[in-house]
């Protein structure tokens, strides 16, 4: 029932539409004409949050028409105070996209929440470093339509090499799961009944899972409103985990649908310093998640565990005389002692 928006996908009418394989955008009044009152009949609202995303945003936007196929959609790019040419590039190559430039980097969750009320249909949260494959988002939309109990549906995320990312579907975080992740056991023994149960995306069966990735996540509008959107205390990481947990708590399910596939570049091209900063942000987000859902003592135990592992890694890298990794673990210990600074 995703058939009442303002995208005509018949013949391209402009040079730009030839680039994107697209027709024209209709007016809001035209889009709503003869539309049923149910939100189920409204277009899917794609929300992409950017911050210095110029190398990725054009391929992401260019892939949307083929990815949605016959499903209608509208798109919003929320730019978190980029200092590169991201806003200009979006305006130039995709004038059919609503652009929301912000004066400061508000974080992922806040930016999504700002854009969510601008349309009334289901929400597709999409990272700018993704490229949805042809038909993938139509597949997700049909899965959501045919599974009314699903509050969210997520695809299989592919690495640039074409492999399914295990993080596409995950268990709820726990101290044990975080231990297997921080020690590399979950990656060394994927699928192992003891070590490999955290990241389960390579089990390519459509099924309900505890957690889906926010890199590409289709959320039912009714479910989104039932949980009140994203918790803005999760600035960058763990917001998707928190959202999925609250969906389950309010009676919805999260459905993994690996027949839909989305390429995800991830953070492979960032500098080592930025990777360290992102790692600290991820630690802080997980600590916040544990404190919210499991209490202060559980979160404190997590901090102790991370500190103990950092000490062990410091000893290892000192024997190897690896100054870079020594610096990284020193930053982790600083976070354990003082929190994020």
- The DSSP-derived string for 122-158 is -EEEE-TTEEEPTTHHHHHHHHHHH-TTEEEEEEEEE
Instruction: Pick the closest to residue 250 from 286, 292, 285, 222 (CA basis).
Output: 222
> Which residues touch 178 (CB under 8 Å, ≥6 apart)?
286, 302, 305, 306
* Greater model confidence, 299 or 35: 299
Name the percent of the chain lying above pLDDT 90.
Answer: 80
Is the distance from CB of 136 to CB of 262 less than 8 angstroms?
yes
The pLDDT confidence band at residue 7, using thresholds 50, 70 and 90, is: very low
| pLDDT value at residue 10 | 24
Is the distance from CB of 110 to CB of 149 less than 8 angstroms?
no
| pLDDT value at residue 272 | 79
pTM as predicted: 0.86
Question: Tens digit of pLDDT for each residue in 282-294?
Answer: 999 999 999 999 9
∠ CA 186-197-173, nearest 5°, is 90
Backbone phi and psi for residue 236, each to the nearest 5 degrees, phi listed first: -135, -50
Place of tokens 């040419």: 85
Q: Mean pLDDT over residues 117-132, rounded? A: 97
Question: Tens digit of pLDDT for each residue in 125-163?
Answer: 999 999 999 999 999 999 999 999 999 999 999 999 999
∠ CA 222-226-232, nearest 5°, is 115
Give the pair of three-digit tokens for residue 84.
Answer: 């590169």
The pLDDT confidence band at residue 29, using thresholds 50, 70 and 90, is: very low
The pLDDT confidence band at residue 176, using thresholds 50, 70 and 90, is: very high
Q: How many CB atoms lie within 10 A of CB 204?
A: 13
pLDDT value at 88 more than 70: yes
> What letter would DSSP give residue 133?
P
Q: How far is Cα of residue 247 from the mean position of the Cα atoms in its chain?
A: 16
Q: Mean pLDDT over residues 50-73, rounded? A: 96
Rounded CA-CA distance 103/271 in Å is: 24
The pLDDT confidence band at residue 181, using thresholds 50, 70 and 90, is: very high
Mean of per-residue pLDDT scores for the chain: 87
pLDDT value at 45 more than 50: yes
Name beta bridge partners: 253: 150
Is the distance from CB of 279 to CB of 328 less than 8 angstroms?
yes
| pLDDT value at residue 27 | 31
Q: Mean pLDDT over residues 189-211, rounded? A: 91
Name the percent of the chain lying above pLDDT 70.
Answer: 87
Backbone phi and psi for residue 199, each to the nearest 5 degrees, phi listed first: -105, 120
How far the first Cα of the chain sits from its last, in Å, is 48
Rounded CA-CA distance 225/36 in Å is: 19
| pLDDT value at residue 270 | 65
Burial (Cβ within 10 Å: 0-12, 13-18, ≥19) of residue 319: exposed
Q: Residue 257 belongs to what H/E stretch?
A: strand 253-264
Instruction: Pick the closest to residue 256 from 197, 208, 218, 221 (CA basis).
Output: 208
Question: Tens digit of pLDDT for each residue in 268-282?
Answer: 556 778 889 999 999
pLDDT value at 16 more than 60: no
Backbone phi and psi for residue 217, each to the nearest 5 degrees, phi listed first: -140, 120
Rounded CA-CA distance 284/271 in Å is: 20
pLDDT value at 256 more than 70: yes
């Amino acid at each position: 029932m995703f058939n009442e928006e303002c995208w005509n996908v018949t013949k391209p009418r402009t040079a730009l539409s030839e680039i994107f394989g697209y027709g024209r955008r209709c007016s809001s009044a035209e889009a709503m004409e003869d539309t049923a009152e149910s939100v189920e009949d409204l277009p899917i609202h794609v929300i992409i949050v950017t911050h210095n995303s110029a190398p990725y945003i054009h391929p992401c936007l260019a892939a949307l028409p083929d990815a949605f196929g016959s499903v209608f959609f509208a798109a919003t790019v929320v730019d978190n105070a980029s200092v590169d040419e991201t806003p200009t590039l979006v305006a130039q190559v995709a004038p059919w996209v609503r652009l929301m430039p912000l004066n400061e980097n508000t974080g992922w969750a806040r930016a999504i929440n700002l854009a969510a009320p601008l349309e009334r249909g289901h929400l597709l949260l999409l990272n700018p470093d993704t490229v949805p494959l042809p038909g993938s988002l139509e597949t997700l939309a049909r899965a959501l339509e045919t599974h009314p109990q699903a509050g969210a549906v997520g695809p299989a995320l592919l690495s640039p090499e074409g492999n399914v990312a295990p993080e596409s579907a995950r268990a709820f975080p726990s101290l044990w799961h975080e231990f297997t992740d921080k020690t590399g056991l979950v990656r060394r023994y994927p699928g192992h009944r003891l070590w490999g149960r955290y990241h389960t995306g390579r089990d390519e069966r459509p099924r309900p899972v505890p957690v889906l990735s926010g890199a590409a996540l289709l959320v039912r509008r009714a479910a989104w409103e039932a949980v009140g959107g994203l918790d803005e205390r999760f600035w960058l990481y763990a917001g998707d985990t928190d959202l999925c947990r609250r969906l389950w708590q309010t009676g919805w399910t999260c459905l993994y649908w690996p027949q839909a596939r989305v390429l995800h570049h991830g953070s492979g091209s960032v500098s080592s310093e930025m990777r360290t900063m992102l790692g600290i942000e991820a630690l802080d987000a997980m600590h916040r998640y544990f404190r919210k859902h499991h209490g202060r003592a559980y979160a404190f135990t997590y901090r102790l565990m991370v500190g103990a592992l950092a000490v062990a890694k410091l000893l290892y890298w000192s024997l190897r005389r690896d100054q870079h990794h020594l610096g990284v673990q020193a930053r982790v210990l600083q976070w354990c002692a003082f929190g994020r600074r």
